[in-house]
Homo-oligomer: A and B are copies of this chain.
Amino acid sequence: MPETHISLAHGNGGRFMRELIRDLFSRALGNPLLDTQADAAHIPIPSDAIVLMTTDGFTVQPLEFPGGNIGSLAIHGTVNDLAVSGADPWYITVSAIIEEGLAWATLERLVAAMAEASQAAGVVVVAGDTKVVPRGNGGGVYFTTTGIGLRPACVTLGLERVSAGDVLLVSGPIGDHGAAVLLARESFGLRGSLQSDAASVLPLTRAVRELSGLRWMRDPTRGGLATVAHELAEASRLTVRLQERDVPVRGSVRSLCEMLGYDPLYLACEGRVVAVVAPDQADEARRRWVAAGAVDAAIIGTLTSGRARCIIETRLGGERLLEELEDDPLPRIC
């Protein structure tokens, strides 16, 4: 009889676990490098490569939302951490902590999305692990992905290259992911076309990473654009000055935020890039992003000498200090 739901026995190392791995994970993610009989995978690395490594856990609720699911997000999140570091993703591992009772069909959809996202990003799943926790000890499923990427030698990025006068860009409207997950989670009776922006940002980072004036990139996930701006100010000891009128926000996201009291600057994105660029190359960087399909890419601010802080110049001509995020507006957003 085919299984319909995950049971504790699917995590015990025995027959059921073997079948779960064979019939679900390997069927979707299988490739010549993924040997489910081995304790560790051999990952060929070219000589003299600059190798980067990153890891990320994913606990988003609900598991499926407009524009993606926790499976695609788990691939995109780690791919994007490598991408904004200037690297190409090569290898990825997937650890799944599954709650007893999760529908087999749901898990199949999540893993199918994972397979599609990894193929699109050109990253190979080389190892995995599955655990099952008793009902009431998990949120359906949590994934952790760990990625290995190779950075071309000509790409040099780093916070130490950021200096006063540099310009800040964002590749598209902010807060789409946060707003889409919020809508999918709560029963506001709201309907709309709002979709998560969850996607690989590789086409965007590849388009600009060899610009000599590119200083630093980051994807504004948890805590949103405001949190990236804070990290940047803190690390560079400069003032980040944003122009509210230039920061792209969709009308639907803005309306939702006004209705519920959120600030889009703190809402998570999962498919955007924030970049710091030398002033004379800011227009070129924006032009490359637009050419790569990021039609709403915008120059949104500058770095100036002064105290390490973030200021936003409002539409009305005033300015306010952008505080560091304290309370959590939206737990389990990624």
7 residue pairs from A and B, CB less than 8 Å apart: A14-B326, A37-B159, A40-B85, A53-B127, A57-B95, A131-B142, A131-B334
- State the copy count for this chain: 2
Taking a contact as CB atoms closer than 8 A, the residue among B81, B132, B139 that contacts A39 in the complex is B81
A52: CB under 8 A from chain B?
yes
Interface size class for chain A?
Answer: 35 or more
User: Which B residues touch A82, using CB under 8 A?
Assistant: 39-40
A residues bordering B, Cβ < 8 Å?
Answer: 7-9, 11-17, 37-45, 47-59, 81-82, 84-85, 87, 91, 93-97, 126-134, 136-139, 142, 144, 146-149, 159, 218-219, 221-224, 227, 230-231, 235, 324-332, 334
Taking a contact as CB atoms closer than 8 A, the residue among B12, B51, B137, B144 that contacts A57 in the complex is B144
Given contacts A37-B159, A133-B139, A149-B40, whether A144 and B16 have CB atoms under 8 Å apart is no
Assembly CA distance A82 to B40 (angstroms): 6
When the two chains form their complex, are residues A39 and B133 in contact, meaning their CB atoms are under 8 A apart?
Answer: no
Taking a contact as CB atoms closer than 8 A, the residue among B12, B127, B137, B222 that contacts A12 in the complex is B222
When the two chains form their complex, are residues B55 and A93 in contact, meaning their CB atoms are under 8 A apart?
Answer: yes
- Distance (Å) between the CB of A118 and the closest chain B CB? 14
When the two chains form their complex, are residues B53 and A148 in contact, meaning their CB atoms are under 8 A apart?
Answer: yes
When the two chains form their complex, are residues A12 and B328 in contact, meaning their CB atoms are under 8 A apart?
Answer: yes
Other than A12-B222, A40-B53, A53-B127, give 12 A-B pairs with Cβ distance below 8 A. A11-B222, A11-B328, A11-B331, A12-B327, A39-B219, A40-B81, A95-B95, A131-B334, A133-B331, A134-B332, A137-B138, A138-B139
User: Which B residues touch A44, using CB under 8 A?
Assistant: 51
Taking a contact as CB atoms closer than 8 A, the residue among B15, B45, B52 that contacts A41 in the complex is B52
Taking a contact as CB atoms closer than 8 A, the residue among B54, B127, B329 that contacts A127 in the complex is B54
Assembly CA distance A144 to B227 (angstroms): 25
When the two chains form their complex, are residues B51 and A48 in contact, meaning their CB atoms are under 8 A apart?
Answer: no
User: Which B residues touch A40, using CB under 8 A?
Assistant: 52-54, 81-82, 85, 87, 147, 149
Given contacts A137-B139, A138-B137, A331-B8, whether A227 and B52 have CB atoms under 8 Å apart is no
Given contacts A40-B87, A138-B138, whether A129 and B57 have CB atoms under 8 Å apart is yes
When the two chains form their complex, are residues B14 and A97 in contact, meaning their CB atoms are under 8 A apart?
Answer: no
Assembly CA distance A144 to B147 (angstroms): 13
Assembly CA distance A7 to B94 (angstroms): 26
When the two chains form their complex, are residues B222 and A57 in contact, meaning their CB atoms are under 8 A apart?
Answer: no
- Distance (Å) between the CB of A38 and the closest chain B CB? 7
Assembly CA distance A97 to B331 (angstroms): 13
User: Which B residues touch A37, using CB under 8 A?
Assistant: 159, 231, 235
